[in-house]
A and B are shown apart, each in its own frame.
Chain A
Amino acid sequence: MNGDESNLEVGDIDESFVPRFRDEVAAVELDGEAVLLDGSNGAVHTLNPTATLIWKFCDGATRLGDLIEDLVAVFDDTNGHAIHADVMALVRDFARQGLLVGVRAGPAEGDEGTAHGHTHGEHPGELHRHD
């Protein structure tokens, strides 16, 4: 499976997925934190430094599984399960927000956000904070 296929569901995302942000999503990075602007609906998302690092690899060239293995090797090879879970949750959250190519946007997990506690406000209005 790769990011160029269309109409994937969020739940279809697995280690073989190759994430890429939609062309309408503009981004700037300040002091290690990215701000994303979805030009299709004006929604604004801020990413903390960890999420910003992962965002940089959502480039249409990197398999999620490879990214996770690299993160485990570099940051914490005793905690691979947690890193795997965090990365999958974050990328699925990007997908839910409609930011990724080839994946249909969908409702958040539960009413209050994802396992990361991200907020999911209606546009325009709330800040979406991925941390």
Chain B
Amino acid sequence: MSERTGRRCGPLLSRLDWPYQTAPCQALGLDFAVRVMDPFLGAYLDRILVHRTFPGPSAHLYSLVDRGPQIRLRYALFLDDNLIETLCGPGIALAYLLWHINRSVIEHTPDLLLLHAAAVECGGMTLLLPAPTESGKTTLAAGLVQAGLRYVTDEAVAIDPDTKRVVPYPKALSVDPGSWSVLAALRPHVTEEVRPYLDRQWHVIPDAIRPGAVAAASVPGFVIAPRYQAGAETALVPIGRAEAVAILAENAFNLDLHGRLGLNLLADVVRRCRCYRLTIADLDDACESIFDLLGHGKEGRAAS
């Protein structure tokens, strides 16, 4: 982290030339836009971010300054007036920007209980896939959406305490290099100008997987805690509801804000769910296990 992190540079930022600013975006409670100096990157961001549907200026503004290729820490990222981080290359700069947007989404969505989990939807029921980073959540969600389920999120499940429904956060799926070979069909088609920004991550728009792939709000019906384990046997094993509540609680982003009511909410959610642990060695086998659980064989997937 730069020693100048946190420095306020608003007046200077406002005097720089910004060739591209995205349309206003909405991600759960975060209302924001991004301005960049590379119009190709700007247009790409407008493709992968979710725009809001009502007019008006954004509440928050990210600014990505390109200081030029001669500077080692070439990119400087600001949120509103504040320097957040300096970064050395285009790939890390974009990956960090998107990571920080996720972090800000969590900070700006205190009313919903947020879980570190992916989720997909089938027949009006959400499948919650809670797990820490590097457990295979995004890969599994991508595989399930490819196979016919609808996309809710690959990062943060938002539960409305009043309705107990999951509010979709259908950000572009962030696919890390380790999954590029198994998800090769999802490789984004981008121009030469944008390609350097994608050396750390692919950003897969759900509609690029399948038009209309994004789910509406729905009630959780399954808790399936995935864990990628190379060389193991793919296995879906039932677990108790108490264990499922503990898994959700340990993967909660803001349970501290919701406290006792949050724990009760998780218990209410889980009481309606069937709960499992999923060891993933092979993506196709893992998806097949889940479709079997849902009562869909291969032939039933198109109808899901």
Contacts and interface: CB of A to CB of B under 8 A. Distances in A.
B240 A39 contact: no
Given A28-B263, A35-B263, A37-B263, A44 B249 contact: yes
Interface in A23-64: 26-31, 33-35, 37, 39, 42, 44-47
Contacts of A71: none
Interface string B256-287: 10011001101100110000000000000000
B246 A127 contact: yes
A28 B250 contact: no
Contacts of B263: 26-28, 35, 37
B113 to A, nearest CB: 13
Identify the interface centre among A33, A44, A124, A125: most chain B CB within 10 Å of its CB.
A44
B255 interface: yes
Contacts of B249: 35, 37, 44
B134 interface: no
Nearest to A121: B250
B250 A44 contact: yes
B172 to A, nearest CB: 27
Identify the interface centre among B243, B249, B270: most chain A CB within 10 Å of its CB.
B249
A5 B242 CA distance: 32
B245 interface: yes
A77 B11 CA distance: 79
B242 A46 contact: yes
Contacts, number: 57
A107 to B, nearest CB: 22
B242 A35 contact: yes
B246 A35 contact: yes
B241 interface: yes
B246 A46 contact: yes
Interface residues of A, number: 19
B255 A42 contact: yes
Nearest to B245: A35
B242 A30 contact: yes
A30 B256 contact: no
Contact of A28 (B240, B243, B245, B259): B245
A30 B250 contact: no
B258 to A, nearest CB: 10
A125 B250 CA distance: 6
A47 to B, nearest CB: 8
Interface string B40-75: 000000000000000000000000000000000000
A131 B270 CA distance: 21
B173 to A, nearest CB: 25
B241 A31 contact: yes
A44 B246 contact: yes
Interface in B10-38: none
Given A30-B242, A44-B246, A39 B267 contact: no
Interface in A45-90: 45-47
Contact of A33 (B240, B255, B256): B240
Contacts of A127: 243, 246-247, 250
A37 B245 CA distance: 10
A34 B243 CA distance: 9
Contacts of B267: 28, 30, 35
Contacts of A34: 242
Interface of B: 240-243, 245-247, 249-250, 255-256, 259-260, 263-264, 266-267, 270-271
7 contacts: A26-B263, A30-B270, A33-B240, A37-B260, A37-B263, A44-B246, A124-B250
Given A29-B242, A33-B241, 7 more contacts: A28-B266, A28-B267, A30-B271, A31-B242, A39-B259, A44-B246, A45-B246
